[in-house]
Amino acid sequence: MTARFETRSVLITGAGSGIGRAAARLFASEGARVLAVDVSDSVEETASGHDRIVALRGDAGSETDVSAMIAAAVKRHGSLDVVCANAGVSGGFAGLFEQTAEEWEALLRVNLIGPFLAIKHGAKAMLEGGGPGAIICTASVAGLRAGAGGPAYSASKAGVINLVQTAAQQLTGSGIRVNAVCPGLVETGMTQQIYELARAKGREALIGQLNPLRRGGEPIEIARAIAFLASDEASYVNGHALVVDAGLSTSHPFAKPRGIGETTF
């Protein structure tokens, strides 16, 4: 495999599992020096056995932590070339009348303020380093339209999509590209409840039935899209939300809407 990221410094948040872990290992396999960050100590497992990955504990929704992780990447690797703002939380499946303002605030802190902080501090480090750079934020098909997530989660991901568009404009002339990836249903810790419930009911074969490929996705499939957006192959892609969902969002799959007070399952 061509080492697309040889000598490049990459920072990934939410790297303790799922898409973040897959992305960290993919970048490392292609020559990058990776700082893998997660609030959980599971990030140590991501780095285990990979000499190009260094694990760091940190909260992607804390400005103090984000500033420190960016500084750590620059100090360790001498520069910062790629930032993947991947950390996120689902907020569960509560409906509009079931969530509190405090629950919204907690979710937005990670899902939307987190990417903002990654862009703010990551772009500053890239500018100070004098080189171009790439920032990729993990959004979701839930940010495109209703039906793929709860209200708070969907709103947060819609915000991420607009954030990368706005940031790309704000960074005009800098050579820094800012894009998003919008995964569909992928088996990660965030979607574990869905997969486990389907398996318990003997309905695993129905997972992903609403998309044309009739299956759920794997973290590595999203990681490949992230790596593309970070690479020179995407040198003319900026302010874009790349949808990776097996075609789910090409239509409006029908499902009976929940009534007030009804639960998802």
> Would you list the DSSP string of 18-75?
HHHHHHHHHHHHTT-EEEEEESSTTHHHHHTT-TTEEEEE--TT-HHHHHHHHHHHHH
83 located within any domain: yes
Share of the chain above pLDDT 90, in %: 75
pLDDT at 165: 98
Give which of 215, 216, 217, 237 is closest to 227, Cα–Cα: 237
As for how many domains the chain has, the answer is 1
Q: Is the pLDDT of residue 199 over 70?
A: no
Phi, psi of 85 (to 5 degrees): -85, 85
Average pLDDT on 104-130 reads: 97
**Quick one: pLDDT band at residue 206, thresholds 50, 70, 90?**
low
Give the domain extent around 229. Answer: 9-187+220-240
- The domain that holds 56 is classified in CATH as 3.40.50.720
137 located within any domain: yes
pLDDT at 230: 98
Distance CA 11, CA 71 (A): 11
2 located within any domain: no
Of 153, 211, 226, 243, which is the active-site residue?
153
Is 236 considered catalytic here? no
59 located within any domain: yes
Task: Convert the pLDDT of each residue in 69-109 to its tens digit.
Answer: 999 999 999 999 999 999 999 887 788 899 999 999 999 99
245 located within any domain: no
204 located within any domain: no
Length of the chain: 265
SS3 call for 173: coil
Q: Is the pLDDT of residue 204 over 70?
A: no
249 located within any domain: no
pLDDT at 93: 73
